[in-house]
Structure 1
Amino acid sequence: MQSVQKLVGGWNSTTWLVGVSSGDEPAQHVAKLADSEDGDAFRSGLRIASAAASRGFPSGAPIPTVDGCLAVDLPEGVLALLQYVPGRSPSAVSDDDMRRVGVTLARAHLAVGAESAGVSEQHRWPWTWADVCLQELPMASEIRDAAARALDEARDVTARISPRVGVVHGDPGLEAFRLRDESPHEDGLIDWAAAMQAPLLYDLASFAVMTRETPESLTSCLEGYRHVAPDISGELRYLDVFIRLRWMCHAIYFASRLERRIIRGAASEAENRERLAEAYVGLTKPVDPILRPA
């Protein structure tokens, strides 16, 4: 017996929870459909999730088809069947949850390491894809210039201080973490479609941006991250540089949605424009002192 339930949300794809009963062993999986134009990044994320899972990290890895493919092309897009990772989303106002998020993100970075072979060439640092997008996507000149400055600054800092570079999740929002209260060592991180090679600071900066309404979340997250990977401490003084880099990615993302007229994710064209304007503010205003770790 099978059951299919469409899951809510999803800015970048459409997902369904798939239940399968085989004898006395019921199982759950997640079917995920990405746009064909995003197929390269989607498949790259599937490869990274597979690598993480092979090292024991709960990543929502793809279940290969009978002929070994991680995804299949359909007229509607690119479809993959993923392992279901049980657990709950963390609470941004729980210090314990935020520490577990930091621990989980550090474990994820250790699991994938420098798995750059799974990342497409354009998504390896220093991100040639970003240059192309900033040249070709329609956006106001002041936004384009601010985004280009953020990219140049991140590249300059990386060349100067040589931070740890590896495969990053790329979009570590709260909904991507799966916390298992009965076994915290099995906390996981799913949805790797935005995975790229970059300084590992980028994921922490992304978390800071995505939890900006509760900025104190970052303090506990960093505490958990440093417990597993203390080497990050010396790099955190440059976190603001990568926060601006994250806002550059926001600008590119919402400019692309406007160009492609994408309104998935309970958004509208007006909201996409508002988010693009928000990205410009993030690129140009000083970083909140609370987001500047000592």
Structure 2
Amino acid sequence: MDVAGVLREYWDLKPVRVDVLTGGMNSAVWLACADEWRVVLKAVGAGDLGFEPGLQLAARLDDAGIRTGRPRAGKHGRYVECVDGRLVAVLEYIDGVPLTMVDHAAIGDLLGRVHSAAAVERGDLADWLRFLLPFEECLDLEPWIRPAVEGAIADAVALGPLSWSWLHGDPAAEAFVRQPDGQVALIDWGSAMRGPILYDVASARMYNDEPVVPAYLRRRPDLTDEVERGLNTFLRVRYAVQAGYFAWRITNNLLTGISDPEDNHKGLADARRSFGH
């Protein structure tokens, strides 16, 4: 992609330097800069229906005081442009140092702030789980996958009504960035969606270990009973998503975001171990 050309044509920005950044599993990312500004250009597939809602959420949360690497509207007032068959957005660059798994307090606290600022009415959990797991045709790649996924879904539905919010969707430690002024930003909103808060909490627990949960509950003590009742169930849901996702990647030989095809198999094996197989 001609990143400098895209920035000039759609955002009226004229970079003096463009560098490739490490992208996610489903995106390509560049850092562009001039004397007075730095931005990130991010490109995803044209079928990524969650891309623009995630950008809109990042903008709303930034307005609420949570730094997110908010999107910049282009010359035509849009956050997203379609370029060469891909969806493209420009984000404010967040300078700082990514957190690590030991930064439990900062991770849990900021995730709790996000859920407080972005609460929504609850939806239908069974429908949401079907949306979350669109890999039906890949669940028979290995014999353990389908029973594990279906069991996790059934246990989640049995929990009954849950609290919902807009979710980050992928709160690994490296998505949290401590800035030079000490504030922590939460970036990478490509997996954002409406859903049960327990999914984000379980994801944070999976990525960042157990102490992130009490850190979260110090910010959201009102959710203590719900988290204690449903966290283990949603950990299985989170690993079910991982199992379905990597089964899909293996089935379709998708290699974006990884250095070796074995990384897909490792992701599936990690999910398998979580189910005791």
Same fold (TM over 0.5): yes
Report the equivalent of 1:78.
87
Please say if 1:142 is aligned against 2:144. Answer: yes
Measured in 1, the distance between the counterparts of 2:16 and 2:70 equals 21
Are 1:44 and 2:53 counterparts?
yes
- 1:150 Cα deviation after fit: 0.7
Displacement, 1:9?
4.6
Specify which of 12, 20, 27 is matched with residue 34 of structure 2: 20
Map of 1:195 onto structure 2 = 192
1:208 to 1:222, Cα distance in 2 relative to 1, 3 A: closer
Counterpart mapping for 1:146-165 below 5 A: 146-157=148-159, 159=160, 162-165=161-164
Q: Is the CA contact 1:124–1:196 (under 8 Å) kept in the aligned structure 2?
A: no
Question: Is the contact between residue 107 and residue 228 of structure 1 (CA under 8 Å) also seen in structure 2?
Answer: yes
Tell me how large the CA RMSD over aligned residues is.
Answer: 2.5
Q: CA deviation at 1:128?
A: 2.9
Q: Supply the distance in 1 between the matched residues of 2:34 and 2:165 (Cα, whole angstroms).
A: 36
SS for the counterpart of 1:80 is strand
Following the alignment from structure 1 to structure 2, what is the Cα–Cα distance between the partners of residues 223 and 132?
Answer: 32
Give per-residue Cα distances to partners, 1:254-279, cap 9 Å, x unaligned: 12222332212234322212321321
Tell me the equivalent position of 1:289.
none
What is the deviation of 1:78?
1.2
TM-score normalised according to structure 2 size: 0.85
Alpha-carbon offset, residue 174 of structure 1? 0.8
After superposition, the Cα gap between the structure-2 partners of 1:283 and 1:35, relative to the gap in structure 1 and judged at 3 Å, is farther
Equivalent position amino acid for 2:201 in 1: L
Q: How does 1:158-237 map to 2 (within 5 A)?
A: 159=160, 162-180=161-179, 182-184=181-183, 187-211=184-208, 215=209, 218-219=210-211, 221-237=212-228
Equivalenced residues, count: 262
- Distance in 2, Cα, partners of 1:171 & 1:260: 22
Q: Alpha-carbon deviation of 1:57?
A: 1.4
Q: Which residue of 2 aligns with 1:280?
A: 272
Consecutive unaligned residues in structure 2, runs of 5 or more = 1-14
Match of 1:3 in 2: 17
- 1:127 aligned to which of 108, 123, 129: 129
Identity of aligned residues (%): 28
Q: Could you tell me whether the CA contact under 8 Å between 2:120 and 2:165 is conserved in 1?
A: yes
CA contact (8 A) 2:125 2:157 kept: no
Unaligned runs of 5+ in 1: 286-294
Structure 1 equivalent of residue 106 of structure 2: 100
**Structure 1 position 56, deviation (Å):** 2.1
CA distance in structure 1 between the aligned counterparts of 2:131 and 2:20, rounded to whole angstroms: 32
SS for the counterpart of 2:243 is: helix
CA distance in 1, matches of 2:116, 2:216: 11
Pick closer, same or farther for the CA change 1:228–1:46 going to 2, 3 Å: same
| Distance in 2 separating the partners of 1:55 and 1:125 | 30
Partner secondary structure for residue 94 of structure 2: coil
Report the secondary structure of 2:97's partner residue.
Answer: coil
CA-CA distance at 1:131 after TM superposition: 5.2
1:52 CA displacement: 1.3
- When you count helix as a share of all residues, which structure comes out higher? 1
- In structure 1, the residue matched to 2:8 is none
Structure 2: distance between partners of 1:153 and 1:123: 11
Which residue number in structure 1 is paired with residue 40 of structure 2? 30
Q: Kindly tell me: are residues 164 and 253 of structure 1, through their superposed partners in 2, closer, same or farther at Cα, counting changes over 3 Å?
A: same
- Aligned AA for 1:281? R
Runs of 4+ aligned structure 1 residues displaced above 4 Å come to: 121-125, 135-138
Which residue in 2 is equivalent to 1:241?
233
